[in-house]
Structure formats: structure tokens, C-alpha cells
Amino acid sequence: MSLTNKVQETVIGLVSVSDRASGGVYEDKGIPALQAWLESAVSTPFRVETRLIPDDRASIEATLIELVDNARCHLVLTTGGTGPARRDVTPEATLAVGTKEMPGFGEQMRQISLHFVPTAILSRQTAVIRETADHAALVMNLPGQPKSIKETLEGVRDAAGNTVVGGIFAAVPYCIELIGGPFLDTNPDVCKAFRPKSAQRAGAA
């Protein structure tokens, strides 16, 4: 398709934060779930950089900095480490490396999850922009369970397929553009990217 040929590849970092998975106690399910969802939802060229790390704040901070500053990711998605337990420090690490906080993403994630479990209020997911002199990326904390990851990204629909609560990924492509990143589009059957009319491309879905 002519549109895809003109579109710059989006680099997406996927980080699974888990002591036991990174230590080989059990198989990580976060990164495969994220990658499978992206393959179904993103319609423009992208590639992923994956990292499996322990629940250690210094390691999380170093990984996020490396993915943005060196690997030049435009979007970084983390999974795991966002609860109230002592070892859950992903939000603290994320806020430490960010230059702008994007609290609306965390608010919407909790709103989505509250449709399923009352303990969603215990989740501390957040998002930030990390900026360097010549690059910027959106970094978002997602839940740890594959089912919750999908629900958070896509949103909640009723039995007829109508959207009850919008998923967070609908706002991601336009956010990436606003911080100087490439054009990213989605499969509307999975998640329709929202852009104001002034930012829409001719021929784009």
C-alpha cells in the first residue's frame, strides 16, 4: 500500500518487570501478550525491542533510559510491578525518568479495570514523556495479566460491540506525533486511533 511505503517505522519497547520470570522461575507472559496485541492492532510498520527484567528500581530506570535514548523507541510499554506491594516500583522508576507526566493514561486504565474488579483502585499505572535533545518517547505502565493488558488497550464493549469505555491505545498514535514521532495507524476492528480532523491523513483509515 502506498501509505505504508511512506510511513517511518515505529520502534516500540516492551518491558516485562518480574523477579520470577526474569529469574527463570516461570515463563514470561507479558511480552508475548503485548506483541500479539500490537500485531493485531497496528497497521503501519513497527518493530519491537524486548526486555525482561527484575522488580528493581535501578534496573527499570536504566532499561527505560536505554530504550528511549539509545534504542530510539517512540513508545515503551511496561507490564508488571504497578501494585501496592513492597517490590512494585515500576511507577516510581517511570516517573523518575520522565520529563512530563501524562496522568490521564493511568486514570483511564483504572476506569477500564473497575468494570471488572474492584481492586483496580490498587493499581498505580502511570505514563510519562521522556525527552532528550533530539528525541522523545511515550512510556506507559500496563497491568501484568494478559487479559487485563488487552482490556486496557482496547477498552470495554457491550454485547453488541458498542464501546462502553474507550481503551487507552486510541490516543497513543496522536500523542506520538505530537512529540515528534512517526505516523502510526491502527486496525479499526481492534482499536481505532483518534486524531482531530486537522491531523488526519488523506487515505488513512
More confident residue, 201 or 86: 86
Asked if pLDDT for residue 1 goes beyond 50, the answer is no
Asked if pLDDT for residue 2 goes beyond 50, the answer is no
| Residue 1: all three cell numbers together | 500500500
CA–CA gap between residue 120 and residue 123 (Å, rounded): 5
CA–CA gap between residue 132 and residue 174 (Å, rounded): 19
Q: Mean of the per-residue pLDDT values for the chain?
A: 92
Asked if pLDDT for residue 205 goes beyond 50, the answer is no
Q: Please tell me the CATH code under which domain 2-197 is placed.
A: 3.40.980.10
pTM over cut 0.85: yes
| Residue 22: all three cell numbers together | 526474569
